[in-house]
């Protein structure tokens, strides 16, 4: 009889253990699902961020490529041009008369030979609010050889108190400006070390 009671107790304990396990298992499943959901959410978030970064990079690359094409086009248009600043503008009534005076200035004052000269024009529009400002005079020459000759191979040439320079696009002007700025900075640094005053 005692043996039967002991077996019954053991059976009841096993049954309780199984019930307990059955009760606990849903909690474990729920935790696993939460963990999986969290990992999945993080992966999706990272994927979205990576995609956004890639799209942003594509937009930047596209803008840079467009800017490079634009600069190359502008550079090609100006490759036979010279630019002269601070040249007084004619007060004549018609644009043809003003252009004729500018052409005369190029040939006589700047001493550009007729065989090298094609045409000239003023860059931009006149500003009535700036009467002392003279628009740049752009001179179109026959070829690159003429450009190199009259601009001293891009270094600039002074003729009758006027500097003859290359007609650079905006990107090239900015590059040259930064190069001059960096050069002056280095010169100032050297002068400071030597105890000299850089002019």
Residues 126-151 have pLDDT tens digits of 888 888 899 999 999 999 999 999 99
User: Taking 50 as the threshold, does the pLDDT of residue 37 lie above it?
Assistant: yes
β-partners of residue 140 are: 81, 119
Give yes or no for residue 119 having a pLDDT over 70.
Answer: yes
Would you place residue 179 in the very low, low, confident or very high pLDDT band (cuts 50, 70, 90)? Answer: confident
Distances (CA, A) of 134 to 76, 107, 131: 25, 19, 8
Q: Roughly what angle, to the nearest 10 degrees, separates helices 170-194 and 2-78? A: 100
Q: To which H or E segment does residue 119 belong? A: strand 117-122
The burial of 24, by beta-carbon neighbours within 10 Å (0-12 exposed, 13-18 middle, 19 or more buried), is given as exposed
**What confidence tier does 80 reach under pLDDT thresholds 50, 70, 90?**
very high
Give me Rg for the CA atoms of the chain.
40
In the predicted structure, residue 58 carries a pLDDT above the cut 80:
no
What are the structural domain ranges in the chain? 80-167, 168-199
For 80-167, CATH number?
3.30.70
pLDDT at 31: 59
Give Cβ neighbours of residue 157 (< 8 Å, ≥ 6 apart).
Answer: 150, 151, 163, 164
Q: Do 154 and 148 contact (CB within 8 A), yes or no?
A: yes
This prediction has a pTM of: 0.62
CA distances from 39 to 11, 33, 107 (A): 42, 10, 77
The four Cα atoms 171, 173, 174, 178 give a dihedral, to 10 degrees, of: 140
> In this predicted model, which residue has the larger pLDDT, 180 or 34?
180
**Neighbour tally for 119: CB within 10 Å:** 12
pLDDT tier, 47 (very low <50, low <70, confident <90, very high otherwise): low
DSSP per position, 159-195: ETTEEEEE---HHHHHHHHHHHHHHHHHHHHHHHHHT
Task: Compute the distance between CA of residue 180 and CA of residue 183 in angstroms, rounded to an integer.
Answer: 5
């Amino acid at each position: 009889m005692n043996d039967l009671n002991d077996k019954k107790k053991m059976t009841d304990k096993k049954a309780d253990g199984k019930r307990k396990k059955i009760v606990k298992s849903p909690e474990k499943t729920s935790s696993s699902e939460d963990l999986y959901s969290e990992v999945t959410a993080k992966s999706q978030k990272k994927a979205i961020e990576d995609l956004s970064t890639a799209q942003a990079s594509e937009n930047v690359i596209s803008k840079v490529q467009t800017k490079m094409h634009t600069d190359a086009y502008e550079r090609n248009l100006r490759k036979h041009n010279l630019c002269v600043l601070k040249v007084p503008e004619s007060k004549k009534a018609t644009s043809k008369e003003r252009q004729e005076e500018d052409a005369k200035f190029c040939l006589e004052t700047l001493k550009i030979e007729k065989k090298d000269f094609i045409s000239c024009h003023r860059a931009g529009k006149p500003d009535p609010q700036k009467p002392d400002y003279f628009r740049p005079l752009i001179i179109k020459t026959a070829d690159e050889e003429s450009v190199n000759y009259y601009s001293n191979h891009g270094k600039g040439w002074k003729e009758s108190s006027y500097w003859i320079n290359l007609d650079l696009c905006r990107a090239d002007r900015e590059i040259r400006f930064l190069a001059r700025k960096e050069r002056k900075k280095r010169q100032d640094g050297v002068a400071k070390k030597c105890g000299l005053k850089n002019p």
